[in-house]
Amino acid sequence: MTMDGDSDTGGLDRRAFMASLSAMGLGATALPAELWARADAGQAVITKGMISAAASLAGLDFTDAELELMVEDLGRTREGYAELRSVTIPNSVPPALHFEPALPGSSYPSESTVFRYSRPRGLERPARTEAMAFWPVTHLAEMVRTRQVTSTELTQMYLGRLKAHGPTLECVVTLTEELALRQAARADAELARGHYRGPLHGIPWGAKDLLAEDSYVTTWGAKPYEDQHVPDDSTVGRRLEEAGAVLVAKLTLGALAQGDRWFGGRTNNPWNLEQGSSGSSAGPGSATIAGLVGFSIGSETLGSIVSPSTRCGASGLRPTFGRVSRAGAMALSWSMDKLGPMCRSVEDCAMVLKVIHGADGKDPTARDVAFDWDPDRPLSDLRVGYLASAFEEDRTDTEWKAFDDSTLELIRSMGIDPIRIDLPDDIPYGAMRIILSAEAGAAFDELTRSGRDDLLVRQTGGAWPNTFRKARMIPAVEYIQANRLRTMAMQRFADVMDGIDVVVTPSFGGAMLLLTNLTGHPQVVIPNGYRAGDGTPTSVSFVGKLFGDSEALRLAKAVQDATDFHQQHPPLFAV
């Protein structure tokens, strides 16, 4: 059992020390006065009782002789912990080991062969610029390309809406107005010279505030970091700037990427202000669907794109793990974090992914894999499955179930006969959540040891402060075992997906969301209905094969084009 040290003095923090003892079932009376004195001096004696109590947390039982042998060596091990903690390790430094979603023998093409996006015909500029606030990127791009509207006009319009509605939704951390107007002016000047960078040229966007932007603070939504300046730009932000996009705001996230509560309040659902917008990509979901930005970038570790996209009615893409570099983004779980677009249409997601994907030489997990996009390609070449158990399970939200069933029937009406698939039922999926807990505990180790975790707004049993503390009780052996089980799950899921391009599933059906965040598969989420009672959205999801993002997007777009759910907008923010 380790005792958490004070990183400033090298000695033990009394609060952390007593909390550790309490976790082991030991009270202050278990420590003689001289032992506590030695603890204050940073020399607490490790006893057989401490080891036995710690072992019991892992479900282990050692003999007295075995405990005796461990005492001295664990003392030296703890000295090593102090040496590790004497070195400041920035959040941006990854472990030497990294996750690889592709199983041995897998190969993927690196060169894209086609990128063809829809160009709407006959678009005319409306009388008021604000009437374009809810237009998808495909439409905004055509207005900019044909010079019917300038990037500066769009940027000023979205900045105005962010100022007017951002406080209501509590979705904005920082307006990047000076940078945005400068980028917009550059986009307009380039277009005037005949230089068009592509469909994101001049399009205003919002960044989840875990993406670094050198000109502004990057708060991670958390009070301890509200004045933090990261002296670099994220790879995603840089690539979007190179594509001509205009950053108009740093948007909210639940503190350290959990939930929708940040240090400034709760981000609200634009369809129902009595609800939070869910998390942790709370601001991107809320701002995009309220028509405050052209599109957003969110992140997902375990549902943080899928959940707010569902709550707010966005079209979201969690790309294949390794598709998009995380360089310059806050790390929560090095083996699970993904960055992806949150938009008003599926094709918008494809357009953004085209720009941001690929290796950058900074994130060791990012790789160059071809991303082709042709929305006119027929669906007949897709083999589609559906997660039968998730569609068949009893659900309390029967209205949502009806929408999911209708989506499946719509797919069948397109001439597709989805193949039933089921997930292996002999794998304890939930037990692998300790992978996230352990990595998150390491990512914010210094925050926990310093006691500044008390500054986070949420202090419940399921909130990060408690999770980070509990993570110290996860044995390294169990973390490794969980990752070995993860490999088995990857192999079993590969068998399930053999020959399948896309799986249709309720967004939160069964273990699919957890499993695919662990395996690294992509997921597209789109709105598929609105509840009669409060008018809030529901969603359905499309899980692709590894690096099969385009196939999942293509089927999702076909379903979306056959409905109008993505074209509905929250009345409170109508233009």
For residue 5, the cross-strand partners are 12
Task: Compute how many other C-beta atoms are within 10 angstroms of the C-beta atom of residue 10.
Answer: 11
Half-sphere exposure of 23 (CA within 13 A, CB side): 22
What tokens appear for 207 in the block?
A: 């960044």
Q: How far apart are CA 170 and CA 249, in angstroms?
A: 12
Give the domains, in start order, of the chain with CATH numbers. Answer: 1-87 (no CATH), 134-366+377-424+483-573 (3.90.1300.10)
What are the pLDDT digits (tens) for 509-566? 999 999 999 999 999 999 999 999 999 999 999 999 999 999 999 999 999 999 999 9
DSSP conformation letters of 210-243: TB--TTS---TT-GGGTT---SS--HHHHHHHHT
- Burial, 179: exposed, middle or buried (Cβ in 10 Å; 0-12, 13-18, 19+)? middle
Tell me the per-residue pLDDT of 218-268, one tens digit each, with 9 for 90 and over. 999 999 999 999 999 999 999 999 999 999 999 999 999 999 999 999 999
**Do the beta carbons of residue 294 and residue 138 sit within 8 Å?**
no
Q: Which residue has the higher pLDDT, 185 or 80?
A: 185
Distances in Å between the Cα of 62 and the Cα atoms of 268, 406, 481 are 51, 57, 20
Report residue 43's pLDDT band, with 50, 70 and 90 as the boundaries: low
Burial class (CB in 10 A: 0-12, 13-18, 19+), 193: exposed
Predicted confidence band of residue 33 (pLDDT cuts 50, 70, 90): very low
For residue 42, what pLDDT is reported?
Answer: 53
Residue 21 has pLDDT above 70, yes or no: no
pLDDT tens digits along 445-486: 999 999 999 999 999 999 999 999 999 999 999 999 999 999
pLDDT value of position 58:
87
Query: What is the pLDDT confidence band of residue 417, given thresholds at 50, 70 and 90?
Result: very high
Q: pLDDT (tens digit, 9 = 90+) per residue, 54-66?
A: 899 889 999 999 9
Give the model's pLDDT for residue 231: 93
Q: Given a cut of 50, is residue 50 above it in pLDDT? A: yes
Q: What integer pLDDT is reported at residue 321 of this predicted model?
A: 98
At 267, list the tokens: 């981000």
**Which parts of 127-234 fold into alpha helices (H)?**
137-145, 151-169, 177-192
User: Has residue 19 got a pLDDT over 50?
Assistant: no
Residue 6 CA, chain-centre distance (Å), reads 31
* pLDDT reported for residue 37: 36
Least Cα distance to 144 among 236, 244, 240 occurs for: 244
- Does residue 39 surpass a pLDDT of 50? no
Residue 8 banded pLDDT, cuts 50, 70, 90: very low
The two three-digit tokens of residue 106, written as one number? 């897998």
Average pLDDT over residues 488-497: 97
Q: What is the pLDDT of residues 81-91, one digit of tens each?
A: 899 999 999 99
pLDDT tens for 114-153 read: 999 999 999 999 999 999 999 999 999 999 999 999 999 9
Query: Is the confidence at residue 372, as pLDDT, over 60?
Result: yes
The pLDDT of residue 44: 74
What is the pTM (predicted TM-score) of this model? 0.91
What is the average pLDDT value for the chain, to the nearest integer?
92
How far apart (Å, rounded) are the C-alpha atoms in residues 446 and 430? Answer: 27
Which pLDDT score is estimated for 73?
87
End-to-end CA distance of the chain: 59
